[in-house]
Amino acid sequence: MARVLDQPRYSCALGSMNTIQSIPGAIPILHAGPGCAAKLSAFAGSSGKFSPLLFPCSSVSEREVVFGGADKLRSTIDNALKVIDAQLFVVLTGCTSELIGDDIGEVVSGFRKNGSPVVYANTPGFKGNNLEGHGWALKAIFDQYLPEIKQSEKRKGLINIFASAPQADPYWHGNLRELERLVASLGLTPNTIFGYGRGIPSLKNVPYAEFNLLVSPWVGLEAAEFLSEKYQTPLLHYPVLPIGAFESTKFLKAVGEFAKLDPSLVTKVTDEFENEYYYFIERYADLFLEMRILSKRFVVIGDAQYALAFTKFLVNDIGMFPTTQYVTDRTPEQYQEKIRNEFESLNYGIKADVQFLTDGYDIHNRIKEADFNGFPLIIGASWDKSLANELRGNFVNLASPIIEKVIINSSVAGYHGGLKILEEIYSAGLSRLIL
């Protein structure tokens, strides 16, 4: 029986338009109803080259439902090619066009035969959410746009980095740049395709990488595995976004080992990062130890990436204790067991229970029954602030949706990201002292 889902923290698969809009030089073409386009545009962002509200749409209507929408799509693509100066056009399908059975591949193949840079991905909302759609869109681009190359053309030290779905993660841009910085500190050359200064030239470099690096519990894994298979490129799947000293050092050592780097070089790099990190930790050690209005128990309400990353950081670096953690991104069942294992692999023998739930009302009721032994720390979305107020807890808005602060290019990844999160957490605690 159908039920109302309260506070869903994801959109439909057609929301993968954000993935395309985050590649400078690429633009999505929606083969969907105008209502879908209007709703999704409220969450749209862009790479900066095009307005986030600029995306061609076939605006499927009753006529197309009856007679088919292939001609309408063909006309939409043709006009887009004439008036939009993009280097890559990605057709994304909505529910209606999928249900009426339009042959999108046949339409797109006609343009590709004429040399036009047009690819397509099947992204109906009934098939999955925007996080799954992100992977489907990337896989389509890897499959249809990137050329075959010879193994001898691979470039030593070139590493493709993929992480969260752009814009679905409010810190995506800053986190990618921080991951680039960490990888570059080992003497490797990072290659990412999203955000400022990247785009189509970086995308064209993808086949030449020595190996692919995916930093994500599950988002984008299917696409990364396809890419590695297509180009016989090894894949390092690191399932935890590194935050703070413990996980960032572990991350760098994993990358160094995978790249067969000199361990002494990696140790030298991590020592330098850790020395700086702990310099700041020591300066504020008294605050961290003596703030009694901040409970040692916490809960994270967020997607698999942040629920796992924040839990690891708060336990492994700060010595806090997790209650049940809530993953809200509708993680596919085949990935859940490995993610559970990560929640049970914490320092000091600590294990965190994790629940994969998508209903905000249900999550809030469960948290109200938890014993925090003081003022709880609640890390979540803006929707969770009312819960924190009700429990007289300390609230930090680090998970999507974030509607009470502006994030331009901040990062929560790496050593510096750990310090930023500490700033947010203890600022929330100090704010309780102001009447």
Amino acid at 157: G
Q: Dihedral through CA 420, CA 424, CA 429, CA 430, nearest 10?
A: 80
For residues 118 and 143, the answer to whether their CB atoms sit within 8 Å is no
SS3 for 61-102, per residue?
A: CHHHHHHCCHHHHHHHHHHHHHHCCCCEEEEEECHHHHHCCC
> pLDDT for 51-95, tens place per residue?
677 789 998 888 878 777 899 999 999 999 999 999 999 999 999
Strands (E), 6-57: 26-31
* Residue 1 pLDDT: 45
Question: pTM for the whole thing?
Answer: 0.93
Q: What span, in angstroms and rounded, lies between the C-alpha atoms of 201 and 197?
A: 9
- The answer to whether 18 and 45 are in contact (CB under 8 A) is yes
Mean pLDDT of the residues in the chain: 92
What is the number of other CB atoms lying within 10 angstroms of the CB of residue 4?
A: 6
Identify which of 104, 103, 102, 101 has the alpha carbon closest to the alpha carbon of residue 90: 104
Q: What domains, with CATH codes, occur in the chain?
A: 13-144 (3.40.50.1980), 151-242 (3.40.50.1980), 292-433 (3.40.50.1980)
Question: What pLDDT, on a 0 to 100 scale, did the predictor assign at position 47?
Answer: 53
* Nearest in space to 47 (alpha carbons), one of 250, 238, 196, 241: 196
- In this prediction, the residues of the chain whose per-residue pLDDT falls under 70 are 1-3, 41-51, 292-293, 434-435
Residue 45 confidence (pLDDT): 56
